[in-house]
Structures are given as C-alpha cells and as structure tokens.
C-alpha cells in the first residue's frame, strides 16, 4: 500500500492512511468478491473511500459490475487499484467511468473530479515506431478503401487479423493522434485529415515491411507472391529494372517456398530474392506488384541518387 500512499501524496499533496476493513464489514459482499479482491479503507478530502485492489486479470465490464456491488455494500466511494495496463485499456476504463488508481501512472476518480496522469510516462508508452498491424491498417485506408464507418470486427475480417489485434492497432492510432474513435458499444475510426496529410504525418513512424530476405536459384510460380524491390520500383517509376527477380510474401509463408524448382543459395549466385514481410502484401495491392507506399518504406533510407529520384516520382504520382 506504500506505493499508493506515495503516488497520492506526490500527485495531490495529500497524506492518507490506508487501513484494513474488519471481517464484519465484508459480510455484505458476495463471497467470491472477498476471495477475488483485497479491500482497504481510507479518506480522501473528508470522504470515506474503499480501495478495491485488483489482483488478477480483469475486463472493464467485470470491474464496473463489481465496483457497483462493492459501493452498494459499503455505501461509500469504491476505487479500483490496478496494475499498469496498456493505454487503450485505461481509455476503456475512463469511457465506462470506472474510478481507478494505477500507482505511478494515472488516477481517475470522477466522483471527486480527479483525473491526473503522469504525462511523461503516458507519452513514453506510445512507441515511435508503428506496429505492423497499425501500419497495414493505415496503408489500406490510404490506398485501397476507406475504413471509416466499419467496426473493428469488420476491419479485422478485411485485413485478416484477429479482432483484438485490430483493437490494439486502432487504439495505438487514436493515442498517437492519428485518428479518432467513435461509437460506444461498437467502435469506428474517423480520420480528420486527407490521405496525403496522413502520409506526411505518419511516414516517419512507419517501418520497412521487410522482415528478412533470402536468395534462391530456380524459378517460382506461386500466386501468393508479389513483385517488389527494384522490379516494383521500375514499374512505378522510370528506373531501369534488374535481372534479379524480387518477390514479397506474407509472414510465415517463406517456409513453403522452397521445393524442387527453387533452392536456397547465397546472394551472389541467386537469381531470385524473396522477402518475408511483416504484413501480407496482398492486402494492399490488386496487381502483381506490391503497393507503392510499402515499397517507398523499403527504400526510404537508400542513399542512391537514382533510387531517391524514383521514390520522389512514386510519391508525386500517388498524391
């Protein structure tokens, strides 16, 4: 409990005493709650407050329901004390008006009109590099079709991710200020900027989609591969093509490539290079070449003047 006392003092300048609750006072609670949570009592600004210490995994709805039961039993303000959780989970708690304290991170107690955050810590939790699913979602929205007005389940089906991954990606974009989330029971994305503005704002946060590259000798005829690298750059610009064939495949597909017609070899003798990407290139293109924005990210740090000119041409043609 010392970490709670310290956090409240550092945040509010208030010294509080945290005490045990007598067994008789706990009799009004359902038996399962007595075994699930630890309950302590304290005083905030002359108001009696019960701290419900969450020890296990939880959902927002579950915490909301159990807080209501505890508040009825104690006839006092009940605040959940929880371990550090991701930003999108904290946002859900606030949306449901669940009073909570995360020692050292955030305190949200609407009953007392308190909403304090450790802003430096909160900012550091938003990575400067975009997650692959968030990047794929954003590139899809820019190049294939708008995802506004489609719930998270619908977006997950379009992008072949599970709904939780898309939820995390959406909250990442929201917390980074790239989009807004609308809706209550079902959430929807809303982008306030056009695609060119979105790209200019987010390009620095995106990464090259290439996870690893392997060279082969032989030939490939699989429909799940897409032309990339110099081959695609020559397609989208005036750059001359090269003899080596470059292909991109979705995560995990590289292990299915090798066979009788394709043997792994070194980069000097290989006539085929296959890149395993962090997301499925097929989601972002309708042709045989990878999408231009992902391709741009592959070459972004290349210092070759010919490559730089080709990349400028790609961006000009897109917008």
Distance in angstroms (rounded) separating the CA atoms of residues 12 and 14: 5
* Beta strands 180-182 and 226-227, pairing class: unpaired
pLDDT bracket for residue 21 (50, 70, 90): very high
Mean pLDDT of the chain: 88
Return the higher-pLDDT residue of 117 and 74. 74
pLDDT bracket for residue 125 (50, 70, 90): very low
Cα angle, residue 13 at apex, residues 6 and 104 outer, rounded to 5°: 35
In percent, how much of the chain has pLDDT > 70? 94
Alpha carbon separation from 266 to 37, 228, 271, 272, 292 (Å, rounded):
59, 19, 10, 10, 28
- Model confidence, pTM: 0.62
Return the minimum-mean-pLDDT range out of 33-37, 64-68, 116-120, 283-287. Answer: 116-120
The pLDDT value recorded for residue 231 is 97
When computed from its CA atoms, the radius of gyration of the chain, rounded to whole angstroms, is 26
The pLDDT value recorded for residue 37 is 92
The pLDDT value recorded for residue 128 is 67
The whole-number average pLDDT for the span 24-35 is 90
Look up the CATH number of domain 132-205. 1.10.10.10
Which one, of 170, 167, 168, 165, lies nearest residue 141 by Cα? 170
185 CA to centre of own chain? 19
Return the higher-pLDDT residue of 124 and 136. 136
pLDDT bracket for residue 60 (50, 70, 90): confident
Domain ranges of the chain: 2-123, 132-205, 210-305
- Residue pLDDT, tens place only, 206-227: 999 999 999 999 888 777 899 9
pLDDT at 159 over 70: yes
Distance in angstroms (rounded) separating the CA atoms of residues 17 and 5: 8
Two tokens, residue 85: 């959780």
pLDDT at 12 over 80: no
The whole-number average pLDDT for the span 268-294 is 94
pLDDT at 260 over 90: no
The pLDDT value recorded for residue 116 is 58
The pLDDT value recorded for residue 303 is 86
- Residue pLDDT, tens place only, 167-189: 989 989 998 889 999 988 889 99
The pLDDT value recorded for residue 133 is 95
The pLDDT value recorded for residue 296 is 97
The pLDDT value recorded for residue 209 is 96
Cα angle, residue 280 at apex, residues 274 and 282 outer, rounded to 5°: 90
- Residue pLDDT, tens place only, 84-122: 888 778 888 888 889 999 988 888 888 776 655 543 344
The pLDDT value recorded for residue 117 is 56
């Amino acid at each position: 409990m010392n970490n709670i006392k310290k956090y409240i003092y550092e945040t509010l300048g208030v010294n509080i005493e945290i005490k045990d609750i007598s067994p008789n006072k706990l009799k009004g609670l359902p038996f399962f709650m007595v075994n699930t949570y630890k309950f302590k009592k304290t005083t905030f600004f002359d108001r009696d407050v019960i701290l419900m210490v969450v020890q296990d995994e939880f959902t927002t709805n579950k915490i909301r329901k159990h807080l209501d039961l505890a508040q009825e039993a104690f006839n006092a303000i009940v605040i959940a004390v929880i371990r550090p959780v991701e930003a999108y989970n904290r946002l859900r708690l606030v949306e449901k008006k669940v009073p909570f304290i995360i020692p050292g991170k955030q305190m949200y107690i609407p009953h007392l009109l308190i909403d304090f955050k450790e802003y430096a810590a909160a900012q550091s939790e938003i990575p400067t590099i975009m997650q692959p699913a968030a990047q794929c979602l954003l590139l899809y929205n820019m190049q294939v079709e708008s995802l506004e007005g489609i719930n998270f389940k619908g977006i997950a089906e379009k992008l072949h991710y599970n709904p939780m991954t898309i939820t995390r990606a959406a909250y990442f974009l929201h917390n980074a200020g790239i989009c807004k989330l609308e809706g209550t029971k079902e959430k929807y994305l809303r982008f306030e900027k056009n695609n060119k503005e979105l790209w200019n704002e987010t390009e620095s946060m995106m990464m090259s989609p290439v996870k690893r590259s392997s060279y082969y000798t032989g030939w490939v005829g699989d429909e799940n591969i897409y032309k990339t690298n110099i081959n695609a750059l020559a397609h989208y610009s005036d750059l001359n093509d090269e003899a080596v064939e470059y292909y991109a495949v979705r995560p995990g597909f590289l292990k299915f490539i090798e066979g009788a017609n394709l043997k792994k070899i070194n980069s000097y003798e290989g006539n085929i290079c296959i890149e395993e990407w962090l997301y499925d290139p097929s989601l972002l293109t309708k042709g045989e070449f990878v999408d231009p924005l992902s391709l741009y990210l592959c070459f972004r740090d290349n210092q070759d003047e010919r490559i730089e000119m080709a990349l400028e041409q790609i961006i000009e043609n897109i917008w």
